[in-house]
Each structure stands twice: as structure tokens, then as C-alpha cells.
């Protein structure tokens, strides 16, 4: 039972870590750090952090199993899952509001579900209750995220938080993006493209894990490839030494935390969860980030709750558990079929 619950627990904890990463990143951007420079630092620092784990835990297993097909899949994973996903997402955040960015990022579960069907990683149907639960649950998750982000409604008075962090509010308020940037059409477009890149990574990672599983080593190799890609992009964007400076404490903290958690730890955990439960299981946890971010935003930044956010949160939770229930039934049925085949083999 504990082993069955572990992937879900890890994915939930991952969302809390992402909220902390979001807060650090926003404060670093407000301090003048270019998003592309942060992504470049994130990949390089993550490579330094993850490499020792790959060496000590998997040094005897990685190289004998590497072939051209695996190396090509690793390159595609680094391109879609690290470089394109993060770069496009940062561009979307720059040209739109954080609310719109978070909302559109929740297209990932629906896109992953659709992309997994041609590869026979997911099945679509309407005959059984579990099939209906997966389809409707995915729709509810995405629909709840959209409602939570785009429909405001009446203000709900939940009181003042004693954890209100005025320093962070002042820093982000004085240096935030302008309203003109937030209304740009390019912002939502970039975020939608980043969702496609993320879904593509989930699918490619699943294909690779079916033949080769070495989470530390594969993640280190992908970070090495992504480091080269992201540094080149950042250098094209920023040529000055000042733009790459990490003398500011918030810049250094943001880059280190993004690397240690957002890249090194998060990618290892997601790769492991994908190998155990498949791509839809991992991507369906993304909407939880909206709920956690809303609570943390109220507690630290004194953000307000509205009817739209509460109803949207309820839809996300209902949809999430519907999909997880459908996935659990799929897994149980698969185990039952394998067990019956094993019994027949034993009888013969």
C-alpha cells in the first residue's frame, strides 16, 4: 500500500516546492535578473548537483546500455523537457500575467492525454465507468484551472494572514511587469507552446523508460545537453557581464533553489513517477499548483479569495481524484489479467 501511495505523495510535495520556486523566481526577476539567464544557471547548477549522484549510484549501469537510440531520446528529452518547456514558459510569463501563465500551463494534462493515445499509452473510451472517469476528470481539472484563473466573481472574506510578507510584496510590486505586457497576445501563445513541449517530454520519457531506466544518469546527461542549449540562448539575449551577475542575494538563492529543486530533484522524481505510473499520472498533478499557490499567496502576499478561485479549486480536486481512480482501476485490471495468465501457465 505504501509503495502504491508513494508516487502520489511525491507529486503533491513537488507542487509545494514549485510554489517556493515561483516566489524566489518572481523576486529575482523583480531584482533585474533575465529569465533566460536564470534558466541557463539553473541547468548548469543542476548538472553539478546531480552528477555525483549519477556517478555513485549508477556508474556501473549507464554506459553499457547507451546506444544511438537512447542518446537520441535523451537529446529530445533535454530539448523538449528542459530547454523548450522552460524557455517558452519564461517568455509567456514575461508577456502575460502570472495567473494566465499558470492557467494555460494546466493544458499539459489534456495535451498529454491526447498525445498518449496514438502511442497506446492511454486508452479513450466511454463504455466503462473508469474510462468515463478519466475523460471527465481530465476535463474537470483543466476546466477548473481555467475557471479559477479567468473568472473572478465576488470577494470571499477569509480574514487577514499573520504571515503577510511586506518585503516581498514591496519588491515585486515596485518592479513587476507592466499592464501592457500582461495583455500581449504572444504571452498566452508561448505558454501554450510550452505546454506542448512539456507533454512531448512526458511521452518521450515514457518511451525511453520502457527500455532504459537510470534516473540519475539520464537526468545528468539531459542537463548537460540542456546546459549547452540554454547558455547559447541566454548569451544571444544578454551580452553584458552585469546581466549574468549573481552578487544579489535573491538572485543567487533563486538560481541555486531552481537548480537543486526545480531541475535536479524535480526531474528525477518526475522521471521515476513516469516510469511507475505513466505520463498522465504525472501531468494531472499540475492543477494542484494553482490551489497551493492561492493559499500561499493569501498567507504571504495577502492575496484575495474570490468565488471563481474556490469553485475552480473544487473542480480541480474532483477531477484529479476521478482520473486517479480511473488510473488505479486500470492498474488493478492489468494486474488481475497478468495474474490470471500466470495461473493458466502454472496449470499447463
For range 120-124, the mean pLDDT:
74
What is the pTM for the complete model shown? 0.74
- For residue 196, the tally of other CB atoms under 10 A from its CB is 18
Cα gap 68→75, rounded to integer Å = 11
CA–CA distance from 219 to each of 142, 188, 203, 293 (Å)?
A: 29, 29, 16, 27
3-state secondary structure at position 152? coil
Please check the confidence at residue 304 and state whether its pLDDT lies above 90.
no
Provide the mean pLDDT of the chain.
78
Per-residue cell: 220: 545528468
Give the pLDDT confidence of 262-290 residue by residue, as tens digits.
777 887 788 788 888 876 777 778 777 77
Give the pLDDT confidence of 307-336 residue by residue, as tens digits.
887 888 788 878 877 877 887 777 666 665
Q: Given this model, what pLDDT does residue 167 score?
A: 56
Q: Given this model, what pLDDT does residue 128 score?
A: 84
CA 168 to chain centre: 24
Tell me the CB-side half-sphere exposure of residue 114, using CA atoms within 13 A. 9
User: Who has greater pLDDT, 288 or 100?
Assistant: 288
Give the pLDDT confidence of 168-194 residue by residue, as tens digits.
556 555 554 444 344 456 777 888 889
Tell me the CB-side half-sphere exposure of residue 135, using CA atoms within 13 A. 11
Cα gap 63→33, rounded to integer Å = 38
Give the pLDDT confidence of 202-261 residue by residue, as tens digits.
889 888 877 777 778 888 899 999 999 999 999 998 888 888 999 888 899 988 998 888
Tell me which DSSP letter residue 243 carries: G
Per-residue cell: 309: 478561485
Position 92 confidence tier, pLDDT thresholds 50, 70, 90: confident
Interhelix angle 68-77/186-209, rounded to 10 degrees, is 150
Q: Given this model, what pLDDT does residue 224 score?
A: 94
Please check the confidence at residue 20 and state whether its pLDDT lies above 60.
yes
DSSP characters over 291-314 = HHHHHHHHHHH-PPEEHHHHHHHH
Amino acid at each position: 500500500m505504501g509503495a502504491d501511495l508513494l508516487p502520489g505523495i511525491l507529486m503533491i510535495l513537488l507542487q509545494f516546492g514549485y510554489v517556493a520556486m515561483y516566489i524566489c523566481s518572481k523576486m529575482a526577476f523583480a531584482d533585474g535578473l533575465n529569465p533566460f539567464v536564470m534558466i541557463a544557471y539553473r541547468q548548469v547548477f543542476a548538472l553539478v548537483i546531480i552528477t555525483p549522484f549519477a556517478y555513485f549510484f549508477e556508474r556501473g549501469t549507464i554506459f553499457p546500455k547507451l546506444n544511438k537510440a537512447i542518446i537520441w531520446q535523451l537529446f529530445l528529452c533535454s530539448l523538449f523537457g528542459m530547454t523548450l518547456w522552460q524557455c517558452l514558459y519564461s517568455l509567456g510569463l514575461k508577456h502575460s500575467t502570472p495567473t494566465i501563465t499558470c492557467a494555460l500551463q494546466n493544458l499539459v494534462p489534456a495535451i498529454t492525454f491526447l498525445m498518449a493515445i496514438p502511442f497506446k499509452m492511454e486508452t479513450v473510451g466511454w463504455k466503462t465507468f473508469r474510462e468515463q472517469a478519466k475523460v471527465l476528470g481530465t476535463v474537470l481539472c483543466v476546466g477548473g484551472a481555467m475557471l479559477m484563473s479567468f473568472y473572478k466573481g465576488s470577494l470571499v472574506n477569509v480574514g487577514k494572514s499573520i504571515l503577510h510578507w511586506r518585503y516581498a510584496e514591496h519588491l515585486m510590486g515596485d518592479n513587476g511587469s507592466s499592464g501592457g505586457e500582461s495583455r500581449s497576445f504572444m504571452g498566452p501563445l508561448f505558454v501554450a507552446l510550452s505546454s506542448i513541449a512539456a507533454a512531448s517530454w512526458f511521452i518521450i520519457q515514457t518511451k525511453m523508460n520502457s527500455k532504459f531506466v537510470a534516473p540519475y544518469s539520464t537526468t545528468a546527461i539531459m542537463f548537460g545537453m540542456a546546459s549547452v542549449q540554454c547558455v547559447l540562448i541566454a548569451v544571444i539575449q544578454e551580452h553584458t557581464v552585469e546581466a549574468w551577475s549573481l552578487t544579489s542575494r535573491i538572485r543567487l538563492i533563486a538560481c541555486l533553489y531552481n537548480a537543486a529543486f526545480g531541475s535536479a530533484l524535480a526531474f528525477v522524481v518526475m522521471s521515476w513517477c513516469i516510469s511507475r505510473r505513466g505520463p498522465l499520472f504525472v501531468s494531472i498533478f499540475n492543477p494542484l499548483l494553482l490551489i497551493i499557490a492561492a493559499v500561499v499567496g493569501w498567507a504571504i502576499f495577502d492575496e484575495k479569495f474570490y468565488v471563481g478561485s474556490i469553485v475552480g479549486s473544487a473542480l480541480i480536486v474532483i477531477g484529479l481524484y476521478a482520473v486517479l481512480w480511473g488510473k488505479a482501476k486500470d492498474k488493478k485490471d492489468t494486474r488481475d489479467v497478468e495474474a490470471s495468465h500466470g495461473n493458466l501457465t502454472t496449470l499447463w
